[in-house]
């Protein structure tokens, strides 16, 4: 007999997109919203984040919406404004969602320190918690966690690797 508290598994589509910095994994829901974007060489981490956020997840090979793939391709080709056209939906704690929503508001071509982002969400002492939420962001690039840097301007931690972070920031016009 199944437990009454057991959640049914979420079913998402999984697609791939070739980019200048590797194969991007695109996870979408039945309505075409982006639920995760990560890199093929970090698929295990992506699946773990999905499990943590949604419980049991069933990923099936399925094409992501053409408009989403076009927007991402355009972004990687230099049309940096295209990220804002991508519909996304995420599960997480209210704090995580607050941090992730704030990430989406960091303008292209700019960076913030973890402390500055903590202050922007009116939690100036939550620097480490902001860092942890940033590291749990399932939608890389679109929710631009790569735009967070250390207080001294150094590149610190990026789930897809520091070389990708460096590339993304340079692509957006940030000197690193």
Q: Is the pLDDT of residue 108 over 90?
A: yes
Give the DSSP per-residue string, the chain: ---TTPPPPEEEEEEEEEETTEEEEEEE-TTS-EEEEEEGGGHHHHHHHHHHHHSSEEEEE-PPPHHHHHHHHHHHTT-GGGGGG--B-----HHHHHHHHHHTTSPTT--EEHHHHHHHTT-TT-HHHHHHHHHT-SBTTTS-GGGEE-TTS-----TT-HHHHHHHHHHTT---
Please indicate whether the domains covering 10-85 and 94-171 agree at the CATH topology level.
no
CATH of domain 94-171: 1.10.10.10
Q: Is the pLDDT of residue 3 over 50?
A: no
Which candidate in 37, 117, 141, 145 is catalytic? 145
160 is catalytic: no
For residue 4, name the pLDDT band (cuts at 50, 70, 90).
very low
Overall fold of domain 10-85: Double Stranded RNA Binding Domain (3.30.160)
For residue 7, name the pLDDT band (cuts at 50, 70, 90).
low
| pTM for the full predicted model | 0.92
Q: What's the mean pLDDT in 67-86? A: 97
- Reported as a single tens digit per residue, the pLDDT across 26-71 is 999 999 999 999 999 999 999 999 999 999 999 999 999 999 999 9
Q: What is the pLDDT of residue 109?
A: 95
- Reported as a single tens digit per residue, the pLDDT across 121-157 is 999 999 999 999 999 999 999 999 999 999 999 998 8
Q: What is the pLDDT of residue 36?
A: 97
- Domain boundaries of the chain, sorted by first residue: 10-85, 94-171
Q: Is the pLDDT of residue 176 over 90?
A: no
Q: What is the pLDDT of residue 6?
A: 56
């Amino acid at each position: 007999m199944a437990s009454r508290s057991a959640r049914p598994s979420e079913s998402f589509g999984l697609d791939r997109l070739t980019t200048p910095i590797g194969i991007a994994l695109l996870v979408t829901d039945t309505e075409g919203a982006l639920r995760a974007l990560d890199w093929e060489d970090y698929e295990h981490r992506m699946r773990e984040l999905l499990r943590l956020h949604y419980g049991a997840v069933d990923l099936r090979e399925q094409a992501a919406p053409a408009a989403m793939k076009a927007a991402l391709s355009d972004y990687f080709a230099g049309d940096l404004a295209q990220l804002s056209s991508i519909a996304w939906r995420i599960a997480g704690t209210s704090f995580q969602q607050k941090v992730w929503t704030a990430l989406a508001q960091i303008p292209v071509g700019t960076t913030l320190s973890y402390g500055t982002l903590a202050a922007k969400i009116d939690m100036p002492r939550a620097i480490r918690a902001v860092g942890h939420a940033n590291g749990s962001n399932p939608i890389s690039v679109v929710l631009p966690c790569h735009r967070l840097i250390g207080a001294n301007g150094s590149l610190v931690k990026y789930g897809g690797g520091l070389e990708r972070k460096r590339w993304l920031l340079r692509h957006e016009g940030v000197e690193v």
